[in-house]
Structure 1
Amino acid sequence: MEVLIRKAYKEDATEAIPLIMEAIGDISRQMTGETEKTAIYDEFIQLFTRTDNRHSYLNTYIAEMNGRVAGVLVFYTAEQAIILDANLEAYLSNKKGTAVTIDPETAPGEWYIDTVVVDPTYRGHGIGTKLLSYAEQLVKDSGGGKLSLNVELEKDAAIRLYNRLGFVTLCPWTIIGEPFHHMVKTVFAD
């Protein structure tokens, strides 16, 4: 089966958001300012269709298979993250009436894979690897650089995949008080 990777459209929100929520788990509460699953979903739909935050469709790529969203990649630079997260902090602070801070997830100068997730229906077809390779190609096309991601310590299968693809654990990282591995791959231009 053929997998098409493309930029996301606003209309992808209803299929992409449940996958993003599954991938980021408890972080979804921090990113939306909500605690109930339905409210988190509704808020993510709104954030996805906006243009000013990390979860915008503008920073999202879709792996499409048989006309369906089979996987999602959320991807941006560290420099973009500063602006995107400042916008999200302002939005959430206004919404909650109190200051909200978003934990940084990437180091300066990196290209950051915020989220990569495959729909359970389509797992085992190499879609996750294709999405990661797509991100790497985007970095190559832009002159090369460091490609990074964070992974929870207990996600052994994901860590093995990232290692196989050339990512190395650079340092420990903390997001909402939880420990992660910060993994980096140096990508050279063609």
Structure 2
Amino acid sequence: MIRQAQPEDAAVLARLIILAMDSLAAKFVGGSAPEESLPLFEKFAALPGNQYSYENALVYLDEQGVCGMISAYDGRDLELLRSDFLKYIASEYGITQIPDHETQAGEYYIDCVSVFPRTQGKGIGKKLIQALIKQAAGTGRDKVGLLVSKQNPNAERLYSGLGFQTVNERKFMGSDYFHMQYTI
């Protein structure tokens, strides 16, 4: 079952965000291991009005609870949605580097798709992406976009198989990505 995430999902959302980000998550806290960022993402997943908020996430539940998530938001809102997060990591962790923009106005941006390893390979990620596309279409949006690491050909194949097309390439926080979009 897929449903809108709730504030009480914050702890599991944080673990899924970190799973998706991997080493990138550690950069936000000046750490070396992704798990070091767990308190940061738990805090922001529980709060409204930011890019990691439960408000922007759909979750997939199986008999054991939340096992996957997808988060997305309107690209025009990126600056506003990440403002408090960037201020917080600057004050708490001394991280002042501002990441490049990963999206832009006119695109409903998938920030994160993640499924716990115990349930991977069951089509959960695909179902979450399809639900997100349906949600975006219902709000009148006509493009859904995302970044996929050039080092992750399996994810690129998944998105291509769902109808996403590469529109350009981007560098984000020191790594190379394909910018892919789905036209509704």
1:148 maps to which of 128, 145, 159: 145
Q: Give the TM-score normalised by the residue count of structure 1.
A: 0.88
1:29 maps to which of 26, 29, 48: 26
Alignment of 1:127 with 2:128, yes or no, is no
Structure-1 separation of matches of 2:29 and 2:6: 20
Partner residue in 1 for 2:176: 179
**Letter in structure 1 aligned against 2:110:** I
1:15–1:69 Cα contact (<8 Å) kept:
yes
2:7–2:46 Cα contact (<8 Å) kept:
yes
1:37 to partner: Cα distance: 4.3
Partner residue in 1 for 2:68: 71
1:30–1:102 Cα contact (<8 Å) kept:
no
Structure-2 separation of matches of 1:52 and 1:30: 22
Deviations 1:86-132 (A, max 9, x none): 22222222324563413211122100000011111112221111100
Structure 2's unaligned 5+ residue stretches are none
Assess, with a 3 A threshold, how the Cα gap between structure 1 residues 135 and 94 changes in structure 2: closer, same or farther.
same
1:16 to partner: Cα distance: 2.3
The secondary structure found in structure 1 opposite 2:142 is strand
Q: Which moved more, 1:15-24 or 1:31-40?
A: 31-40
The secondary structure found in structure 2 opposite 1:144 is coil
Assess, with a 3 A threshold, how the Cα gap between structure 1 residues 35 and 51 changes in structure 2: closer, same or farther.
farther
Structure 1's unaligned 5+ residue stretches are none
Alignment of 1:117 with 2:114, yes or no, is yes
Partner residue in 2 for 1:95: 92
Structure-2 separation of matches of 1:112 and 1:59: 10
Assess, with a 3 A threshold, how the Cα gap between structure 1 residues 50 and 40 changes in structure 2: closer, same or farther.
same
Structure-2 separation of matches of 1:12 and 1:122: 18
State the identity %: 29
Q: Give the TM-score normalised by the residue count of structure 2.
A: 0.91
The alignment of Structure 1 onto Structure 2 pairs a total of residues equal to 184
Partner residue in 1 for 2:78: 81
Structure-2 separation of matches of 1:93 and 1:142: 34
